[in-house]
Amino acid sequence: METILLLAHTETDGSLAKSVREALHVAADLHKALAGSKLVVGLVGEDIQASANSIAACPATNYFGVAGKDFGQSRYATDAAAAEAICKAAQATLVVAPATSRWARALPGVAQRVGGRVDTHVTEVSSTPTAGVGVNRWYYRQRMEATLTRAQRPWFVLIDPGSQAACQCGAGTAKIETVAVQLSDACKRTTMTGIRAPAADAQTIRPDAQLLFVTGAGWTKKQADGQTHVPEAEKIIRGFLQAARASLGSSKSLVDQSGEGQAVLSFMSHLNQVGQTGATPRHPKGLSTCCHGEEPHTVGWRFIGERRAINLDPNCGWARGKADVLYVADAFAVMGKVNELLAAKK
Ligand SMILES: Cc1cc2nc3c(=O)[nH]c(=O)nc-3n(C[C@H](O)[C@H](O)[C@H](O)COP(=O)(O)OP(=O)(O)OC[C@H]3O[C@@H](n4cnc5c(N)ncnc54)[C@H](O)[C@@H]3O)c2cc1C
């Protein structure tokens, strides 16, 4: 009989992130599919009662918690100690957790400590009476998808945020069983002094955005008048991102330009690159502008739903079955007009 543990940490404000509800959805589905299984919740954080209450209507029978000032921050030593203690107290055989950066750092070590196995970047979990529990994950830059099963327990499964629907279970009052953790002084040597992050409107990568807006090298190339228009491109792109709250992706050619000393968009970094040697983001829609749509770039669009592109070249890569709609047009003109319409709508 499996004991499924949904393992989560709270955010700095004491709430649970959406990725926790996604992992809980997976854990609850598994519990439903595995006859005789038990679903329990484990929480780590400075104060966990409110977050436990926020999901108290889920089908879990027990809540285990490690709370206190030492567990409010993301720190390997204390996170691993807390997760290990909860796994042991719950006698978990399947541990389902969101693949947050905090858990992705700590849980592989915990799996080692408790003699288990871990799979990260899981995008699907299934279960059948014959094959047992199986997980899906992608390999080779998202080109091959594999389904794996494991006999080893406990099995830690880290669910990629954004790959699942969030569970809708409501609030209530959860009775938490406190799990004691002995921390040596060495565990507390590292202290998080703060988070350095760009200002909210300078943050261009937004995993939860409805739209991925991709910019290509064309934005910095000579246009019909024989001149480049980089400051205008910056203004249009920035204006659109602010109005549409889209996430900014880029082709490799554009992000590489800074290294070559060319005129570049100041807010662009390698983190924005989409493709074979970049990211593979997940968004319901994508709009590509001034980007040719070559295979090493479009392979990063695997998880983008509806795809549109704006390119001057009717023969560009997007025209070859890679976009649902290709607008053969000047992206400066189209996006300038779109920004005008969005501003008028406000
Ligand atoms: C091993 C390997 C890995 C790679 N990995 C990646 C990767 O991860 N991601 C990636 O992106 N690339 C990757 N590449 C590079 C990729 O093959 C392309 O070179 C790159 O994507 C081209 O970028 P681009 O389309 O922005 O530039 P270009 O090919 O220069 O295309 C610019 C486009 O802009 C259009 N344009 C210009 N002005 C306008 C305008 N006013 N309005 C509309 N359209 C306009 C042009 O018609 C043109 O199609 C990789 C290549 C290799 C060999």
Q: Return the DSSP state at 200.
A: G
- Please give the average per-residue pLDDT across 259-284, as a whole number: 84
Residue 276 Cα, ligand 1 centroid: separation in angstroms?
12
Residue 280 three-state SS: coil
Nearest CA owner, ligand 1 atom 49: 292
pLDDT at 128: 84
Banded model confidence at residue 346, pLDDT cuts 50, 70, 90: confident
pLDDT at 261: 63
271 Cβ neighbours under 8 A, 6+ residues apart: 205, 279
Banded model confidence at residue 258, pLDDT cuts 50, 70, 90: low
pLDDT at 162: 85
Nearest CA owner, ligand 1 atom 43: 311
- Please give the average per-residue pLDDT across 48-76, as a whole number: 97
* Predicted confidence (pLDDT) at residue 198 exceeds the cutoff of 80: no
Q: Verify whether ligand 1 is closer than 6 Å to residue 296 (CB atom).
A: yes
Residue 160 Cα, ligand 1 centroid: separation in angstroms?
28
83 Cβ neighbours under 8 A, 6+ residues apart: 7, 42, 44, 103, 106, 107, 110
Q: Verify whether ligand 1 is closer than 6 Å to residue 51 (CB atom).
A: no
pLDDT at 262: 66
| Pair 219, 289: CB distance under 8 Å | yes
pLDDT at 202: 73
Residue 73 three-state SS: coil
pLDDT at 138: 87
Q: Verify whether ligand 1 is closer than 6 Å to residue 250 (CB atom).
A: no
Task: Read off the amino acid at residue 103.
Answer: W
Nearest CA owner, ligand 1 atom 22: 253
Q: Verify whether ligand 1 is closer than 6 Å to residue 299 (CB atom).
A: no
How far apart, in Å, are the Cα atoms of 167 and each of 57, 124, 140, 161?
A: 11, 15, 30, 13
* Predicted confidence (pLDDT) at residue 60 exceeds the cutoff of 90: yes
Write out the E strands in 205-271. Answer: 211-215, 247-250
pLDDT at 182: 93
Q: Verify whether ligand 1 is closer than 6 Å to residue 127 (CB atom).
A: no
Q: Verify whether ligand 1 is closer than 6 Å to residue 294 (CB atom).
A: yes
pLDDT at 140: 76
* Predicted confidence (pLDDT) at residue 298 exceeds the cutoff of 70: yes
By mean pLDDT, which of 12-26, 172-186, 188-202, 304-318 is the weakest? 188-202
Q: Which residue has the tokens 């739903």?
A: 305
Nearest CA owner, ligand 1 atom 50: 296
- Please give the average per-residue pLDDT across 193-222, as a whole number: 86
Residue 250 Cα, ligand 1 centroid: separation in angstroms?
9
Residue 311 Cα, ligand 1 centroid: separation in angstroms?
11
How far apart, in Å, are the Cα atoms of 323 and each of 46, 205, 240, 298, 310?
A: 47, 22, 21, 9, 10
pLDDT at 129: 78
State the pairing for strand pair 176-178/117-128. Answer: unpaired
Q: What would the DSSP string read from start to end of 5-71?
A: EEEEE--TTS---HHHHHHHHHHHHHHHHSTT-EEEEEEEES--HHHHHHTTTSS-SEEEEEESGGG
Cα Rg of the chain, angstroms: 23
Q: Verify whether ligand 1 is closer than 6 Å to residue 218 (CB atom).
A: yes
pLDDT at 201: 66
CA atoms of 148 and 99, how far apart (whole Å): 18
* Mean pLDDT of all residues belonging to the chain: 94
Ligand 1 pocket test, candidate residues 213, 230, 253, most atoms within 8 A of CB = 253
* Predicted confidence (pLDDT) at residue 326 exceeds the cutoff of 70: yes
